[in-house]
Each structure stands twice: as C-alpha cells, then as structure tokens.
Amino acid sequence: MTATRPSARSGVDRPAGPSPLRRLLPGAPATAGPRGSTLLRHLAGAVLAGALVVLLTNQLPPYQNLQVARVCAFLCVTAGYTVLVGLNGQLSLGHGALMATGAYTVALVQRAFDERGVQGRWILPLSLLAAVAATALAGLVIGLAAARLRGPYLAGVTLAVATLVPAVSTIFTGVFNGEQGLRFPAETPPAFLGAYFQPERWLAWIALLAALLTVLLLANLVRSRFGRSLRAVRDDEVAARLAGIHVARTQVLAFVVSAGCAGLGGGVYAVLTATVAPGKFPLELSLFLLMAIVIGGLGSLAGAVWGAVLLVTLQDLPSLLTETFSLSGGLAQRLEGNLALAVFGLILIVVMLAAPGGLHGAVRTVAARLRARRRVPED
C-alpha cells in the first residue's frame, strides 16, 4: 500500500501542472480584434456550410447520403469531445458510453410514445432533447468525479464507464433487451417532399441540422469568456485560480457540455437506423473517437470535422479493399474488423510525426505558407 500512496496522491490531490497534451495543441488563438459580431460570422459560416452539404446530398445516391448523415452524427460527438480534451485538457475515454446514453434515451422515449399510439413530427426533436438532457446529466455525474481526478486517473474512471454499457444493457434485459437492442419507428421524410424523396437524404438533413447547431454553439462558446476559462484551466490551474476562475466548476461544466453533444450525436446516430444495440458502442468506439480528434487536430472544431469524416470512411475500408483486390477468403476475413484499427493507428503515427497539430494544423500551416508566398511579389 505504501508504495502506491505517493503516486495516488500526486494523481488525485495535486493541482495539475501544464497539461501533457500541450505539445499537440494549437497555440493561443489570434486575438479576435474588431471583426464584427462573432455570432453573425459563425452563423453565416454555418448557413454556407449547410447549404453546400444540402446541395451535395441532392446529388448523392442513397448509401452515400447515409454516409453524410453518419459523418454529421459523429461530428456532434467529436466537436464536443475536442472541446473537452483539447481546450479543457480533460481526457475522457467514456464518450462512446455517453453516445449510448443518448441513443438509448431516444429509443426509450420514441418507444414510449409509439406504445401509447402517439405519433407526430415533434416526437423526434423531443426525443433528441431528452437525449441531450439525459446525457448532460450523466456528464454532470461523471464530471463531478472528473473534477477531482487528473490525467490517467480520469481516463481510468471514464474507461470504466465505457465498458459498463454492454453490461448494463444485458443485465437489465427487460428495459434494454440485451444484445439484440431496441427498435423504434423509423423516421420518414414528410409528405410535402414528394413520394419518391430519398429517405436517406432526409436522414442526412436531420443529422446535418444537429451537427450545424452543435458546431455553431460550440464555436461561439469557445470564443466566449467561458472558452477562455477552459483554456486557462487547461494551461495552469494555479494561475487560473489566481485569476478568479472557479476551476472545478469550469471542468464540470466542460464535461456537461461535451456530454450533451455526445448525447445528441448518439441520438442522431440511433435515428439513422431506428435501432440501438450495445454492439454499436463498444470500447473501441471510444478509442476511435479519441484517435479521430487527435488526428483531426486536438482542440479545433475544423479538426473535429476531419475526425468525423475519418471515422465513417474507415468503417467501410475493409469491404472496399476486399472488393477491389479480390483477396482470398481467409485474408479478407482476417482484415475485417482489424484493418480499420490498423489503418487508424498508422495514420495516427504518421500525423503525429509529420504534423503534431493534426490534419487541420497541417492544412493551416500549408495555407499560411501559400499566403506568405503570394504576398512576397506584392511587397
């Protein structure tokens, strides 16, 4: 016991020094300066991005639209996650479980209405709101514990949460129906869009709306006073406290916000297939989420977009490869399930070596260099 005590104390009680994640993080954001209203600028950006994606979904076949929808659902999660890990320095490995919380909430709410014969367009937004609320509550509980823990200890606790999901769903089979999971009524496009409107496009629009809302809110949040507090707490807790920031409260709030986003993402993810099962939220999902935001660029919302895209494309990679190269049955079987993990790991290593700031950091560096070169002749 005595041997473990010093490390335990240093992990739990001591206010953390500078976050070990610091090397991966972008520098302090440039001062906003007099650039007009942040909200208006972000709103215009969101409308622009949304319109682009809607245009895209109008052209895409059903399966690709479903992929777009999945990217948007994951974006809700990665955006909230990157704020927590990247901007507040709290490493959670339980975001897969938080997604599951949101997904099961949506399923249970929708089933409750369905069993009572209640139907209506308002059930979907209501169930998603319930998902956000339930997950934020779960986030509050975890966050309260998290505010007392640092680094690997926090990761350990949240890891336990992630492994809890399948256990809970199989022990309380009466409510969650074990491995088989729950089904609820599928979301169909409204009639005014026409009889032949692609259901997958409608799903993509729902997910897109959720993602835009999440990113818009988060973008404003991280540029606000609260966002500055997040960074201050991450960089130096003692300094933050001296500056009058309530460290624990900031950390708990960050966890709640991040959990709410994960709940929304999980809920939307469940809506896409109108089912939820524990197999959707294995431990690997939480690890994949972390890798995705690190590869995308920790702490940046643009990086979260990269991460979400990666998460979805890598899911289909093994079947794509086996179809293109007609591999032998045995090899194809071994690749299924393992390949995504291997590729993810490889990309992670390469990105960390070549561009520690993640894909978004690399893009920004390249763009800055190009801009600089263009300016030279003008001078």
Partner 1 sequence: MRPTTRRILAAATGLALLAVVPACADDAKQAAENVPGVTDTEVVIGTHQPLTGPAAPGYSKISAATKAYFEHVNSKGGVNGRKIVYKVMDDGYNPANTENVVRKLVLDDKVFALLGGLGTPTHTNVLEFVKTQKVPDLFVSSGSRNWNQPDKYPTTFGWQPDYTVEGKILATWVKQQFPGAKVCHFGQNDDFGRDSLAGVEKVLGAVAAKQTYTTTNQQVGPAIGALKAAGCQVVISASIPGFTALAMGQAAGQGFRAQWVVSNVGADYTTLSNQLGDKKVILEGMVADNYLPMVGDTANPWIQEFTKIHQKYNAANPIDGNAIYGYSMAYTFVQALLAAGKDPTREKLVEAVGKGGFRGPGLTPFRYSGDVHAGYSGVRLNKVQNGAQAYFGPTYTTDDGDAPVTEYTEPPTTPPADAIPTT
Judged by CB under 8 A, the residue of 1, 3, 4, 63 near partner 1 is 63
Nearer to partner 1, 134 or 277 (CB): 277
Judged by CB under 8 A, the residue of 15, 61, 125, 345 near partner 1 is 61
Touching partner 1, residues 151-170 (CB under 8 A): 166, 170
Nearer to partner 1, 213 or 352 (CB): 213
DSSP annotation string for 3-54:
TTHHHHHHHHTSPP-S-GGGGGS--PPPP--S-S-HHHHHHHHHHHHHHHHH
Judged by CB under 8 A, the residue of 119, 224, 319, 365 near partner 1 is 319
- Of 189-197, 213-221, 258-266, 371-379, the window that binds partner 1 (rule: CB under 8 A) is 189-197
Judged by CB under 8 A, the residue of 28, 30, 40, 354 near partner 1 is 40
- Helix (DSSP H) and strand (DSSP E) numbers for the chain: 17, 2
When asked if residue 333 is in the footprint of partner 1 (CB under 8 A), the reply is yes
* Least distance in angstroms from the C-beta of 177 to partner 1: 8
Please tell me the distance from the alpha carbon of residue 129 to that of residue 116, in angstroms, as a whole number.
Answer: 20
Task: List, as own/partner pairs, every contact residues 302-305 make where C-beta atoms lie below 8 angstroms and the sequence separation is at least 24, other chains included.
Answer: 302/360, 302/363, 303/82, 303/86, 303/358, 303/359, 303/360, 303/361, 304/75, 304/78, 304/79, 304/81, 304/82, 304/215, 305/75, 305/78
When asked if residue 59 is in the footprint of partner 1 (CB under 8 A), the reply is yes
Name the H helices within 247-328. Answer: 247-273, 283-296, 301-325
Kindly list the residues in this chain that would bind partner 1 in the complex (CB under 8 A): 35-36, 40-41, 44-45, 47-48, 50-52, 54-55, 58-59, 61-64, 66, 166, 170, 173, 177-181, 183, 185-186, 188, 193-200, 273-275, 277-280, 315-316, 319, 329, 333, 336-337
